[in-house]
Amino acid sequence: MRNQSLERMISLTVITAYFPFNRGIYGQIFRLLMGYPFSPLLANVYMGKVEKEFEKPPLQLTVLIRLPDDYFALLEYRGHTL
C-alpha cells in the first residue's frame, strides 16, 4: 500500500465522527477522536517524534516523565534548566 493511500485511510478513519450535543448533530473536524481505539496509537507515534526532538542539540534532556496525556520535562539549554 502506498503511503498516500495509507494516510488517506487513516485520515478518513480518525476524523469522521458525528456526535449529538444540545439537540443537534455535530461533526468533529479537528484533532483525533476522543475515545476512539485508534487515537492512542496515533498519538504515541506523534509523541515519539516529539520525544526525538528533545534529544537534539542544543537541548540536553535531564528528566522526562510521560503521562497518558501530559509531559513533565527538564531540559538544559545553554546552562539554564528549562
Q: What is the pLDDT of residue 48?
A: 85
Q: What is the pLDDT of residue 1?
A: 63
Give pLDDT tens digits for 24-59. Answer: 998 877 777 777 777 788 788 888 888 888 778 887
Q: 9-35: buried (b, 16+ CB within 10 Å) or exposed (e) per residue? A: eeeeebeeeeeeeeeeeeeeeeebbee
Q: What is the pLDDT of residue 14?
A: 67
Angle subtended at Cα 14 by Cα 13 and Cα 20, rounded to the nearest 5 degrees: 105
